[in-house]
Structure 1
Amino acid sequence: MIVPTYEESATIGTVLERLFAAADDRTEVLVVDDGSADGTDDIVKAHPLAGSRVHLMERGAKLGLGSAYRDGFAWGMARDFDALVEMDADLSHDPADVPRLLAGLEGAHLVIGSRYVPGGSTHGWGIGRKILSRFGNLYVRVVTGLPVADATAGYRAYRTSTLRAIGIDSITSEGYSFQVEGAIRTWRAGYRIAEVPVAFSEREEGQSKMHGGIVREALRRVIAWGIEGPRTPRTVREVEPWTGHPDRP
């Protein structure tokens, strides 16, 4: 599990508790903290499994979501985990859904926890946020051809071999653009993407990290990806038998 944090002391303890309640004793979690001053790092360090199954990467400054995932993926790939999972630290993603995302890797290379497939939902959003999210995903599909209902979703599981193949470490996007670019690269390389329904809940504690710069970056980059193409995969790859541990993210 890769869990980026910035000022998430109100929720990170609960996230870890629920994660380990949902998974078995092979699950490990990396918290990538961007210099939180609210004690987020202290909570992680004080966890009973700190140093064995709970790990902390302290980066000292707010470097961005995409950067946090690149560093987290590099950490996980260096340790040869079979799969790596992205998840928010504010409880907007239900840790109980992790086993379903990982089980989906039996038939796919990337599994997205989707708000916009049958059974998926959002809770606690105003009408403006709902319209923005729906428009953003429609915009991605129309401009790039990516056949994914929720390309901006940040709750997802990758096969580690897929991350290596698409060059996840070379992605320079931040914010939601990072999620979109990861999905586009996966699809254009011919890898299979599956979506499983999840319920997304607006955070109850702390401050949202959404801002206008994230939206502008996404609009600009999606146009560039649409221009460069292609609108169909270069090749279609078979889904290899899943030999990894579905409960070892």
Structure 2
Amino acid sequence: MSPVAPLSSSRLVVTLCTYNERENIGKLIPQILEALPDADVLVVDDNSPDGTADVARQMGAADPRVKLLLRTKKAGLGAATLAGFQWAIDQGYDYVLNMDADFSHHPRHLRAIWGCMQMADVGIGSRYVPGGGITGWSAMRHFMSQGINWYSHVLLGAKARDCSGSFRCYRISKIRELDFTKIRSRGYAFQEEFLYRCARVGCRIVETPIVFEDRIIGQSKINVAEIVRSLRDLFLLGLDGIRDTPVTR
């Protein structure tokens, strides 16, 4: 596969969806900008009560590469991610790279994921390819993650090894082809659904290894209710895919 576009002149924005991540973003954003000095960083904050948006606003006043999209309420990770993507489209960026705001996605992997875009429309920081891994998880957390990925492969025909991670870069000209209003999930199943819809519009998907490190500061937002909703959303999406598949005779 040959490179699809030069990256040197491309506009890239890194999106961080935040809720009570004040203690993390002040340390994380400088490391992102050190790894990708030509990129901008967009903090998509769901009106965090801990003042995360205030930190982002102060950083933006000192460095114009730091932007803030402040939402009025907490409406789910998928909804916040889509809001960041739509902002990137509206602002004329060429690529959007999404990552967690809690250092579980370490900035040292950013250049490798960005480099995938020489060959791909979606570059995934993957825990499940050779060289990838996870640190700090319980056996139950490993089981749930592997189960979600298996579920995605069976129901959605996903080809990527890591379907549930959010450490990804997207070519905006391709995600423009998606109808965001048709995306069902607003929670943690969003990652699998968005990747599925990218594949449906012909996106070339490349994975590069990362080591996922469980957060040190703050609390995870995932819970049992969210897992159940995610499984339901993926099941319904799988049914939609079956209905949409043309019958050959």
Superposed displacement of residue 169, structure 1: 5.3
RMSD of aligned C-alpha atoms?
A: 2.0
> Identity percentage over the alignment?
37
Q: Deviations over 1:21-67 (max 9, x none)?
A: 1012x210110111112121121122165572111111132111111
| Unpaired segments ≥5 residues, structure 1 | 235-249
1:20 aligns with 2:36: no
> What letter corresponds to residue 216 of structure 2 in structure 1?
E
Which of 26, 30, 42 lines up with 1:30 in the alignment? 42
Equivalent position of 1:10 in the other structure: 23
Contact kept, 8 Å, 1:174 with 1:214, in 2: the verdict is no
CA distance in 1, matches of 2:99, 2:205: 17
Relative to the length of structure 1, the TM-score reads 0.88
CA distance in 1, matches of 2:60, 2:201: 41
3-state SS of 1:10 partner: helix
> What letter corresponds to residue 86 of structure 1 in structure 2?
N
CA distance in 1, matches of 2:168, 2:154: 22
> What letter corresponds to residue 213 of structure 1 in structure 2?
A
Q: How does 1:60-75 map to 2 (within 5 A)?
A: 60-75=72-87
> What letter corresponds to residue 36 of structure 1 in structure 2?
S
Contact kept, 8 Å, 1:101 with 1:113, in 2: the verdict is yes
Superposed displacement of residue 108, structure 1: 1.1
Contact kept, 8 Å, 1:44 with 1:50, in 2: the verdict is no
Q: How does 1:1-249 map to 2 (within 5 A)?
A: 1-24=14-37, 26-47=38-59, 50=62, 52-168=64-180, 170-229=182-241
| Unpaired segments ≥5 residues, structure 2 | 1-13
Superposed displacement of residue 231, structure 1: 11
Superposed displacement of residue 146, structure 1: 1.0
3-state SS of 2:23 partner: coil
CA distance in 2, matches of 1:18, 1:175: 27
Superposed displacement of residue 125, structure 1: 0.3
Contact kept, 8 Å, 2:15 with 2:44, in 1: the verdict is yes
Q: Deviations over 1:91-135 (max 9, x none)?
A: 000112122111101111111111111111001001010111011
Equivalent position of 1:239 in the other structure: none
